[in-house]
Structure 1
Amino acid sequence: MHVGIVAQQDNPRAAALADEIRRNVDVSISLDLATAESLDKSGESVGDLAACDLVVSIGGDGTFLFTAREVTPTPVMGVNLGEVGFLNVVSPEDAIETVQREIDRYRAGETDYQELPQVRAEGDGWQLPASVNEVTVLGPQRGRNNGIGTEIRVDGDLYSGGRADGVLISTPTGSTAYNLSEGGPLVHPDVPAFVVTEMCAEGGMPSLSVPTDAELTIRVEEADHAFVVADGRTREQVDPPTNVRIRRAENPVRIAGPPLDFFAALGKLE
């Protein structure tokens, strides 16, 4: 078995735990480049993490999102050094024991991973990486008299339209993130639905839950340009009028280790 490790950048505690795991589990280990450099191991430990059997992400949800984007469909185990940690279930104190347990289960052929759907946005001549949390379609600037004209269709049927700061399409995982701050509902991770939320719309409709196999089309108009953003990190500038197509990504994120504890994580939002 081959295990990869990604530690949160510029976090000595994360790097130290990565090194501790590396030295205390009985499998071959690869580090991502930033982690290897922080441990002065870049000459011997850097590898292709997507080719690993398991990748351990040490940090907050941002580190987990980065890791998942780089290695999916390889299973990811999140070790939580952040405050909320919806995606990171394992505590630092339990990290070595939990990683070794996953190694033992893998060797025994007893792997069982939780799968979380992702969304992917594309248009004419472009495609963004799959998103664990959400895709947003935004105008060049938020606020009064800005934004974009939108038309939202679900499997070709018109749902809503008008002027708005943007449109947000969230996965169940992402319902606790940007979606929640825009007034969208919480969605339990076991519910197979994406949520469509108009952002500061003029006379818009309520948030809509759609099946994960639905195809969404966001028509973007009435703006010099707009942006399509995946998980707040990767963006594509588009020139209206244009259509943005959003659907479930081919590969889900696979979570290794203990199951996500949705309600315990919600308690940390208070």
Structure 2
Amino acid sequence: MKAPCTIGIVVNPHRPKAVEAAEKLVQLLTESGVPFCSPCVFDARAPTGFAKDVESHLEPANILVTLGGDGTLLAASRYAAPRGIPLLSIRLGGFGFLAEVEPHEIEWAVRRILSGEYSIEERIMLHAVLLRGGTETAESLALNDVVVTRGALSRVVLVRTEVAAGYLSTYSGDGVIVSTPTGSTAYSLSSGGPIVHPSVPVILITPICPHSLNARSVVLSDEETVLLTVESSDEAMMTADGQVGFTLQQGDQIRIKRADVKARLIKFGLRSFYDNLQTRLRWADSFGT
């Protein structure tokens, strides 16, 4: 027997339209008699009025609805994936490539969820572990990417890159991106990486502004483990999805592999991956006309 639906609401409090949509969603769920958790945020800097103790607050939820942009979904995915909770993203941010539903479709989408008329699309995630002196000191999941980059005032960063078979390259530049297929349309794309359909089981390595004409993206099997070692003495940073960050020291290593959990995205079949390439990345634009 299917468990009753309890909806958790995650909102970007810095976007007025997202806050307004959250209020309307709460009203809709209340009038429909659907159990829900009041809106919460993953941003500790958010204004008062939103729950910030996310783990305890969202514990009853078995579906999460995110109201914001892709960043809101990325933050929610790191919470939801280990718990197997499906995610529905409402496009209320500036880009929204990962969003499934437009704001005017919220009520329709909720009705479809309650009637079970949706599918689940699983997305590969990464698990990154920071090693200092051989000891694991931090870890994070990432739906888009794990990035090692130079500090704000530093020179180029040297990142030794290895895979299971051995040494791959030492990149000299602004850093290195290790991304999932989902992340192939994010930072990796802007750094010259390829676009990869989210169903393809691969991991991408893309150098950022490499100081070499020979450094290019590499596409690996998602069975690979990537090991990045900071060889330069200047300041460097590691980030996961651009949201979780750690300061790096010379000799620090980041071990990255496919996570044991996956993000589970709710889909209604409204738009395909290729539709989003055309409408949100403007893939089909004609230049000079």
What residue in structure 1 maps to residue 227 of structure 2? 217
Number of aligned positions between the proteins: 260
Considering only aligned residues, what root-mean-square deviation do their CA atoms show, in Å?
Answer: 2.5
* Residues 192/51 of structure 1: CA separation in 2 closer, same or farther (3 Å cut): farther
Which amino acid in 1 is paired with 2:13?
A: Q
How far, CA to CA, are the matches of 1:196 and 1:64 in structure 2? 23
Matched, 1:62 2:71: yes
How far, CA to CA, are the matches of 2:209 and 2:94 in structure 1? 28
Q: TM-score, normalised by structure 1?
A: 0.86
Q: Deviations over 1:43-74 (max 9, x none)?
A: xxx96225411011112111211222233231
Which amino acid in 2 is paired with 1:121?
A: A
Partner SS for 2:115: helix
Match of 1:147 among 138, 142, 156: 156
Matched, 1:28 2:35: yes
Partner SS for 2:26: helix
Residue 15 of structure 1 contacts residue 38 of structure 1 at CA under 8 Å; is this kept in 2? no
Runs of 4+ aligned residues of structure 1 deviating over 3 Å after TM superposition are: 32-35, 37-42
How far, CA to CA, are the matches of 1:33 and 1:81 in structure 2? 16
Which amino acid in 2 is paired with 1:5?
A: I
How far, CA to CA, are the matches of 1:162 and 1:112 in structure 2? 41
Which amino acid in 1 is paired with 2:58?
A: L
The 5 Å alignment of 1:177-256 reads 177-203=186-212, 204-256=214-266
The 5 Å alignment of 1:10-159 reads 10-25=14-29, 26-34=33-41, 48-72=57-81, 73-105=84-116, 112-124=119-131, 125-141=136-152, 146-159=155-168
How far, CA to CA, are the matches of 2:127 and 2:275 in structure 1? 28
How far, CA to CA, are the matches of 1:83 and 1:243 in structure 2? 34
What residue in structure 1 maps to residue 281 of structure 2? 269
In structure 2, runs of 5+ residues without a counterpart are 283-289
Q: Deviations over 1:147-196 (max 9, x none)?
A: 22222111142221242221111111111111111111111111111110
What residue in structure 2 maps to residue 9 of structure 1? 13
- Percent identity reads 28
Partner SS for 1:63: helix
Partner SS for 1:252: strand
What residue in structure 1 maps to residue 287 of structure 2? none
Q: TM-score, normalised by structure 2?
A: 0.81
How far, CA to CA, are the matches of 1:142 and 1:211 in structure 2? 35
Q: Which has the higher strand share?
A: 2
How far, CA to CA, are the matches of 1:171 and 1:50 in structure 2? 28
The Cα of 1:38 is off from its aligned counterpart by 8.0
How far, CA to CA, are the matches of 1:40 and 1:93 in structure 2? 25
